[in-house]
Amino acid sequence: MVLKRFSVLVILRVALLLVTLTGFALIFGRAELFFNQIILGAIISIQVYELIRFVGQTNAELAKFLLAIKYSDFTINFSRDSHSAFKTLHPAMREIMQSYQQVKIEKEAQYQYLRLLVKHLKVGIISVKGEDEITLMNPPALAMLKTDTFHHWKNIQINRPQFAQTVENMQDGESQLVELSMVGEKRRLSVQIIHVRLLQETYRIITLHDIEDEIDRSEIQAYHRLIRILTHEIMNSVTPISSLSETLLTMLEDDQGTVKTKEEINSDYLEDLAYSLRTIQKRTDGLLSFVEDYRRLTKVPQPQRKPFSVQSLFDSVGSLMRGEFEKHKITLRTHCEPDNLSVLADHQQLEQVFINLLTNSIQAVENQPEPAISLKASRQGEKTILEVVDNGSGISPDKLDEIFVPFFSTKEKGSGIGLSLSRHIMALHGGSIRVQSQPDIQTIFFLTFPSVAELHTEAIHS
């Protein structure tokens, strides 16, 4: 409607101008109509001026409106000149300005809310625009790096070179554990980096999580569990030794504490003495075996990594355990995808891990009608995953968090050292071991090995 009215008014002005020009052309050069020529010339000048003013006023109103939006100037007033062709558009412009102002207010409120949220998060956040400009660094990040506000990444490179170097070597989406030494204090940070592109600009979003307290808590809990189990095992051996020692003393001494003569010790006493001493020796041997298991757990050498075929590992442990499989009529299956999959590890240590896991699986499937164990290997991304799968009795959910604790065992005669030793060996390889279990259906142990790049990074940091 507004554009139609504007077009009509422009056409009308142009038409009147053409009529005037036509009249001026008809009388031009006639001396008797000299004053008419002057009058028509003046009218033409006025018409041209009015046309220019009309179009210019409209353009000025639109320019003022657009500039107001560009500079967020919400105090602008539009002309109420009745001659303006866009007079009916002014209310719509004012509504647009009000809506835009409301949007700006809401965006500012959201920005302040997000800024407050980021400020009070326990996770440190650093946003780097391009290569050097730091656009955001919240208080937790400042506290973790123990520094003042930085506006440029090169400042972090100068003041925290170890942290900066680690971040620059990380790939998009990668996370790493970084240990920093600052002002005589060591902190362990979990660092993750994400690259995003906004408005033709590249940003690096770096998140930092101080896991020192979590690690300390986990270590304390692990120590408590270990101490509880150690205390239980030691007391099981020491209590009967103490009791039998007291019994022996009562047999060899009288009420006053004087050692009895050989005439006072009859043959029944000698039999009891021999039985008690054998029992003490048995419990002492058990305690020494327990201590030896603990020594084995704490003295695993560093792995000698070499590349080898996973299938050759499966064949090797299969041959070693063939007697047990045949004895218990267990079906063993192996599968590698791809067939030539290899792993960089210590063959002997990894063989020991599989022997431990297969021993547990053999005991788990003992009462199953069709006992079966599978060894599987695959590559997921850059990581290699090895699996030990059985259809045995499984592990109850309340025991899953305990099975890797040293000397904890779900079996009556188990030492509780096999899974702990296996996890320790996997940790030395920079990998991990975890378990999923559905009792009486399926239990899977997953061995995850890092990529070659991760091993290289680990070697650099070590």
Task: Name the nearest CA neighbour of 413 among 249, 286, 238.
Answer: 286
Higher pLDDT, 61 or 458: 61
Does residue 458 carry a pLDDT above 70?
no
pLDDT tens digit sequence for 359-397 = 889 888 888 888 999 999 998 888 899 999 999 888 888
Q: Say which residues have a Cβ less than 8 Å from residue 216's Cβ, sequence separation at least 6.
A: none
Q: How confident is the model at residue 5 (pLDDT cuts 50, 70, 90)?
A: low
Query: In angstroms, what is the C-alpha Rg of the chain?
Result: 43
Quick one: pLDDT at residue 445?
92
Task: State mean pLDDT over 15-20.
Answer: 84
Q: Which amino acid is at 21?
A: L
Of 243-252, 400-409, 422-431, which range is least confident?
Answer: 400-409
76 touches 48 (CB < 8 A):
no
The end-to-end CA distance of the chain, in Å, is 76
- Using CA atoms of 456, 460, 461, 462 in order, give the dihedral in degrees to the nearest 10: 90
- Using CA atoms of 352, 358, 364, 370 in order, give the dihedral in degrees to the nearest 10: -170
Quick one: pLDDT at residue 314?
92
Tell me which range, 40-49, 77-86, 144-153, is most confidently predicted by mean pLDDT: 40-49
333 touches 374 (CB < 8 A):
yes
126 touches 137 (CB < 8 A):
yes
Quick one: pLDDT at residue 446?
93
410 touches 429 (CB < 8 A):
no
Q: How confident is the model at residue 140 (pLDDT cuts 50, 70, 90)?
A: confident
Both tokens assigned to 350: 């990894």
The DSSP code for 454 is H
| pTM assigned to the model | 0.47
Task: State mean pLDDT over 415-441.
Answer: 83
Of 52-61, 116-125, 293-302, 414-423, which range is least confident?
Answer: 293-302
pLDDT over 70, % of the chain = 76
Quick one: pLDDT at residue 40?
81
H/E run at residue 189: strand 185-198
pLDDT tens digit sequence for 227-277 = 666 676 677 667 777 777 777 777 777 767 677 776 666 666 677 777 777
Residue with the two structure tokens 């029992």: 279
Q: Is 101 exposed, middle or buried (0-12, 13-18, 19+ CB in 10 A)?
A: middle
Q: Which amino acid is at 244?
A: L
